[in-house]
Structure formats: structure tokens, C-alpha cells
């Protein structure tokens, strides 16, 4: 397996695929203030199984919170959409996947393109903090806030850059991304797999309820993650995320025979 860089810091990841799964692609999007490091074990697991994988580094991420403040939600979306289209051009079946905001971006991509399927982990569509309703005004009086911390998570901390502060201008852009994606969810026709952590203090349960109500796809499968926090791709339930997503991709790839092993989904 080869990465698109050799340094240990945040950077894009790509793998061309091998064996019987080489013509199946998975484009994965990381989350808000994160980097490909948060989904790297997932990407590597898929690469080990032979899938072609692409994980772009979104603009304003992997460096400093001041860079994030200068980016808009369309910049984040376009960066991932470009990576997906490039991978889709080189594969027969191409899926989109993502963590948190990355799940939101993956869902919007699925609404705008004929993806083979979408697999998302704790996708965001709503907020716990009600002050976000006035963040468009608040950002002019308060430049930054402190990020939400998960006290009970066992996920390791990744070196994603200096995001010790969160610019409210970026939170406003995140809210706009959520709103835009909610409007387009009825256009998603591809099968969807959603992983939801029980102990997620970042994305509220209302996000999943919104997804259930608005998603256009006739196939929505939800997998509960009882032992993980928000960044479940690095937490105790990560093996479940990896294996169930592999099963999902194989089940819906036209050139593959669906596996017969039972699913642990709820």
C-alpha cells in the first residue's frame, strides 16, 4: 500500500486498489477541524481488502484554525467532489463515505452523483448548541470558541494541526452546509449505511432522525456503536465500522457476489 505522502502529519491518502476489488472505489471525507488521520485506519483497512481508496485533505484543514476561518463550505464540498469524480473515473463502482461533517459532504455528493452507495459515521445535520441559530450574527462579535471535548472517548488524539480554537465564521459555514445538504437529501437514491455512536457528544440524535425522514433512498441501514464516542473510526467500535462497511460495499457492487454471513446491524 502507498500513501500520497511520506510525512506523519495531515495529508491526503490514496491507494490504487488490487485484486478482485480493484475496480471498486471508496472516497472518504474527514470531518470538521479534522484531517485524513481520523479516517486513516478505515482507509487502510479498505486498501488492505483491495479497494481503490481516496481521502482528500479539505481546504483549511491540517494546518491552523486561522486557515479554516478563510474557507467556505463550498470549498470543502468541491474538494471532496473532485476527489470522488477522479476516483469514479478510474473505477467501475464508486462509493462515498465520511465521518461527521465528512458524512454530510458524502451525503450531498450522493445527492448530486450516481454513487454506488454511501457509508457515513456520525454524520452531522444539526447541532446541540442552540446558539448556532444566530452564529451568522454572533461571528461579528465573537471570533472564536473552544471545541467540544469528549471526556470518555478512548480514541487517540491525532495531530491534525492547531485547532485549539474554532472560528465562528467556520461554524457558520458548517451550518450552511447542513442546511444545503438537508434540502438535497430526497435526491439520494443510493443505498445508505449509517453508523451512530451511543456516546456522541458532538452530533445530536436529531441528525439521525432528520436523515431518516428526508433521505430519498429506499435502503437505509443503521448500525449502533455502543462503545464509541464521536470519532468512532478511531474508537472501540472501529473494527465493526470497518467490517460492516466492507460487507456493505461488497453487497452492492455489481460485479461481486453478495456475502452470506449475517449482519450485526440494528
> What are the structural domain ranges in the chain?
13-252
Average pLDDT over residues 16-45: 97
> Which residue(s) pair with 195 in the sheet?
121, 223
Sort strands 52-55 and 144-145 into parallel, antiparallel or unpaired: unpaired
- Which residues are catalytically annotated? 100, 200, 230
Three-state DSSP class for 62? coil
238 to 59, 63, 84, 111, 188: CA distances (angstroms): 26, 26, 23, 26, 26
- The residue length of the chain stands at 266
Average pLDDT over residues 27-40: 97
- Residues that constitute the known binding site for substrate: 32, 101
Cα–Cα dist 110/97, whole Å: 10
CATH 2.60.34.10 fits 13-252, yes or no: no
Average pLDDT over residues 59-88: 96
Residue 51 CA neighbour count, 13 Å, CB half? 30
**Category of 256 on φ-ψ map: left (φ > 0), alpha (ψ -120 to 50) or beta:** beta
Cα–Cα dist 170/190, whole Å: 29
- Average pLDDT over the chain reads 90
Exposure string of 122-140, with b = 16+ CB inside 10 Å and e = fewer, is bbbbbbeeeebeebeebbe
- Residues that constitute the known binding site: 32, 101
| pLDDT tens for each residue of 178-224 | 999 999 999 999 999 999 999 999 999 999 999 999 999 999 999 99
Cα–Cα dist 238/220, whole Å: 20
> Considering the entire predicted model, what is its pTM?
0.90
Amino acid at each position: 500500500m502507498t500513501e500520497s505522502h511520506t510525512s506523519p502529519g495531515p495529508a491526503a491518502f490514496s491507494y490504487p486498489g488490487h485484486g478482485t476489488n480493484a475496480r471498486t472505489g471508496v472516497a472518504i471525507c474527514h470531518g470538521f477541524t479534522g484531517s485524513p488521520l481520523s479516517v486513516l485506519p478505515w482507509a487502510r483497512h479498505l486498501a488492505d481488502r483491495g479497494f481503490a481508496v481516496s481521502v482528500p485533505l479539505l481546504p483549511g484543514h491540517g494546518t491552523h484554525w486561522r486557515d479554516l476561518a478563510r474557507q467556505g463550505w463550498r470549498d470543502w464540498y468541491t474538494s471532496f467532489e473532485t476527489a470522488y469524480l477522479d476516483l469514479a473515473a478510474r473505477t467501475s463502482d464508486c462509493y462515498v463515505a465520511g465521518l461527521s461533517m465528512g458524512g454530510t459532504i458524502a451525503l450531498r455528493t450522493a445527492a448530486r452523483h450516481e454513487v454506488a452507495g454511501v457509508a457515513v459515521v456520525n454524520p452531522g445535520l444539526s447541532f446541540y448548541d442552540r446558539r448556532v441559530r444566530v452564529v451568522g450574527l454572533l461571528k461579528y462579535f465573537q471570533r472564536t470558541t473552544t471545541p467540544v471535548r469528549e471526556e470518555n472517548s478512548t480514541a487517540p488524539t491525532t495531530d491534525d494541526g492547531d485547532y485549539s480554537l474554532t472560528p465562528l465564521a467556520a461554524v457558520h459555514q458548517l451550518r450552511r452546509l447542513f442546511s444545503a445538504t438537508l434540502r438535497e437529501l430526497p435526491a439520494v437514491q443510493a443505498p445508505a449505511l449509517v453508523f451512530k455512536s451511543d456516546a456522541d457528544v458532538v452530533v445530536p440524535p436529531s441528525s439521525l432522525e432528520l436523515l431518516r425522514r428526508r433521505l430519498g433512498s429506499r435502503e437505509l441501514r443503521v448500525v449502533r456503536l455502543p462503545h464509541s464516542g464521536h470519532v468512532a473510526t478511531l474508537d472501540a467500535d472501529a473494527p465493526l465500522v470497518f467490517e460492516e462497511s466492507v460487507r456493505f460495499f461488497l453487497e452492492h457492487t455489481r460485479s461481486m457476489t453478495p456475502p452470506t454471513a449475517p449482519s450485526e446491524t440494528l
